[in-house]
Amino acid sequence: MNPEIWKRLFLLSLAFVLLFAGAGWAAPADVSGAIGSIQKANGTAAVVRQGQTIPVQPGLKIRMNDTLQTGADGSIGVVFQDETLLSLGPDSILSIDEFVFAPKQGKFSIVLKMVKGTAVYLSGLISKLAPDSARFETPSASVGIRGTKFAVKVEGR
C-alpha cells in the first residue's frame, strides 16, 4: 500500500483518538430524530439531508438517512447516541442507513455505508449489546462489528 495512504490513515487515527479520548460523552435520547452530533469539523464538510446540503459545524445534529461528505481539505468527527465514534477524512462520503438505539425496548441497529474516502470507527453500545446489529458496509465488503476500532479506506468512485 502507498506510504502516503498509511500516513493519512495514521494521522486520521491519531486525530480521532485525540478528539475523542476520554470524552465520556453520552447523549440522552432525542425525540427530535437526532441520532448523534458533529463534535469536530474542519475544512469543507457537509451533511446532505433530504436533498438539501447543510454546512457542517460542531453541534449540528445528525439523523438517520443523512449522508456525510467531506471535501479535499475536510474532516468530520461524529458521536452517536450509543457512544459510537466516527471520524471521516478528506474526500469522503458515508451514509447513515440505519440507527436504532432503544435500550428499554431492546432494539439496536447501526448500519453505515462508506461510499469513498477514509474513516476511523470505534464501536459503541450497540456493538456491545447486540453484536449482530452493527454493520459497516463498503462497495466491496460488509463488516459485522463486534466491539472494535478500525480504519478503512475506500477508493473513489
pLDDT surpassing 60 at residue 107:
yes
The pLDDT-based confidence of 149 (bands split at 50, 70, 90) is: confident
Identity of the residue numbered 145: I
Q: How many residues does the chain have?
A: 157
- Chain-centroid distance, C-alpha 3: 24
The pLDDT-based confidence of 24 (bands split at 50, 70, 90) is: very low
The pLDDT-based confidence of 8 (bands split at 50, 70, 90) is: low
Mean pLDDT of 63-80: 97
Q: Please give the radius of gyration of the chain, using alpha carbons only, rounded to the nearest integer.
A: 14
pLDDT surpassing 70 at residue 45:
yes
- Please identify which residue in the block is written with the cell numbers 467531506: 70
Angle at 34 between CA 94 and CA 45, to 5 degrees: 40
Angle at 75 between CA 69 and CA 78, to 5 degrees: 80
List of domains in the chain: 3-154 (2.60.120)
Q: pTM above the 0.85 mark?
A: no
pLDDT surpassing 80 at residue 2:
no
